[in-house]
Structure 1
Amino acid sequence: MGTATNYVLGELRLFRASQDVSQDEFGRAIGYSGSHVSSVETGGRAPTEGYMTAIDNHYQTGGRYLRMLRELAHLDATPEWLREWIEIERESTTLRWFELSYLPGLLQTERYARATLAGGRFTTDEVDQIVASRLERQSVLGRGKPPQLIAVLDEAVLRRPVLDQPGLMAEQLDHLANLTAEEHVQVHIVPVDAGMYLGLMGQFIIGELPDGSRVAYADNQLSAQIVDAPADVARLAKTWEIVRGEALPRRQSTELIKDVAKSWN
């Protein structure tokens, strides 16, 4: 049973306990047997949309548990090699993200996300699942206490054309510029005239968790690597500082994004 599933079941148990009712009483209230409630809470039976809707309706939760179930479904549709990182991403208070080739997934439009998956490697259904998962991940930036996202991008990311997709890059960069107006989103661009720099060795993300610990993520064509050894994370953090030093300040970066967006019109 995955971490996300355990989290949902834990939330259901805590909610019932907060109502100070037994499993039998809870079941009667929402139209299910006590044994059904017990089976769901212990992981023996998967919660369904009907089950979650019954909880939301009876206890007037505003649809909280149905949303939770659908988020879990999106996570289940996510490639397995990304699931561990997504959990870390959701828990992080700060995300330091360097991208050499694409816009960060948390900042992509749907059209751009689909374009990154073009080329025949994935089936249509797989593309739909990955895009849905990627867009769902973006909700982390809209929650009550979002993480601080500091993204450093190579200028080539802004200027790389997407063939046969007129207007896509203008739309994407307008979206990116709008996001940079958010206090918790910083985007810095490494200009082309920076020449050769350490970041050209590859993209990575460093997530800082509430307890101050750090976990990093790096991926390639076939798989992803979660890096949690302190010495390795420290080396990536040093690389991050060097790469960040090559980038333009926040305001100048936003102006560059807006200028390049105009060039795509």
Structure 2
Amino acid sequence: MADGTGGAGAPGCGGGEPEVSDSLRTFGEVVKAFRKRARLTQEQFAPRVRYSVPTVASIEQGRRFPTHEFVERAEEVLDAFGALRGAARHLSRQPGLASWFRQWARLEETAVSLHTYECRLIPGLLQTEAYARTLFVNQLPPLGDEQVEAQWVARAERQRLLRERPNTAFSFILEEQLFRRRTGGAEVTRGLIDHVLELAELRNVEMQVMPQVRERHAGLDGPIQLMETPENRWLAYCEGQESGQFIHERKIVSTLQMRYARMRSQALSLEESLNLLQRM
């Protein structure tokens, strides 16, 4: 998936090459205009927003997606009358997100609940930077440094959802082998497990592990993502290596809901799942 959840571009494993975005260039020009209005050079502005000069330059040139923290700090430092926040809301998150995943990513921002089953990679919402960068640098065809950076920035932006939407219920069912594979090595895996355990402490996050030995498994057809919209409508998303399928047909969504519900009963309980991760 390209950057929905896992690999280079979407939710789980496949690749999506970052694309240049006109909205990023426009946002960069707005930042530059307010910076010059404040009579600040990039060298003076960078430490005030706690970012490096090259990072500020990349954002102003439209080559880097601004983080939420950058937007907020720049808004305050430059006294931008809310213009930067407004402009940031209209940014197309093209860099780091595969084209087939963007619609789902936009809907995530307002979802009432999100359910994810993954058997290939740790979902993007749960990844550490070290784990994610391991995926990016092993992507084929290879990505350039700027592309890798864009991938990570897009992923880190999505991860804000877990903490900034406390009323959204997040449910994850993860195969045990995803942790035992040791992607990136033992240290990366230890950091990943610590991170997942920390996120599992959030009241709006439920984490279950599907054990390696399971005679009956309702998820053998592959990963599942389910979403409940503010209108209480359910949608689904499934992804292959170079494509994604947005599903709104009620019959198919109902089938996927049925499978996910069965997997919840087949996976380890919440307490058992956390105990297993702690033992790892």
Q: TM-score range by the shorter chain?
A: 0.7 to 0.9
Equivalent residue number for residue 170 of structure 1: 190
TM-score (norm 2): 0.69
The alignment's C-alpha RMSD in Å is: 2.8
Between Structure 1 and Structure 2, the one with more helix by share is 1
Deviation at 1:57, TM superposition (A): 5.8
Deviation at 1:82, TM superposition (A): 1.4
TM-score (norm 1): 0.72
Distance verdict in 2 for CA 1:232–1:70, change over 3 Å: same
Equivalent residue number for residue 220 of structure 1: 240
C-alpha contact (below 8 Å) 2:34/2:78 kept by paired residues: no
Equivalent residue number for residue 31 of structure 2: 49
Deviation track 1:188-217 (CA, whole Å, cap 9, x = no partner) reads: 011112135121210011010111101111
Please state if 1:75 is matched with 2:93. Answer: yes
Equivalent residue number for residue 128 of structure 2: 109
Deviation track 1:132-178 (CA, whole Å, cap 9, x = no partner) reads: 11111011112154421000111111211225x44000000000001
Equivalent residue number for residue 84 of structure 2: 66
Counterpart CA distance in 2 for 1:149 and 1:249 is: 15
Equivalent residue number for residue 147 of structure 1: 168
C-alpha contact (below 8 Å) 1:49/1:69 kept by paired residues: no
Q: Read off the aligned partner of 1:75 and give its amino acid letter.
A: R
Equivalent residue number for residue 278 of structure 2: 258
C-alpha contact (below 8 Å) 1:214/1:233 kept by paired residues: yes
Which consecutive unaligned segments of at least 5 residues does structure 2 have?
Answer: 1-22, 38-73
Counterpart CA distance in 1 for 2:192 and 2:77 is: 42
Deviation track 1:52-101 (CA, whole Å, cap 9, x = no partner) reads: 7789469968x865355456557131221111010111111100110111
Counterpart CA distance in 2 for 1:150 and 1:116 is: 23
Equivalent residue number for residue 191 of structure 1: 211
- Bigger relative CO (Cα 8 Å, ≥ 6 apart): 2
C-alpha contact (below 8 Å) 1:155/1:191 kept by paired residues: yes
Tell me the matched-pair count.
215
Which consecutive unaligned segments of at least 5 residues does structure 1 have?
Answer: 1-42, 261-265
Distance verdict in 2 for CA 1:217–1:149, change over 3 Å: same
Counterpart CA distance in 1 for 2:82 and 2:129 is: 25
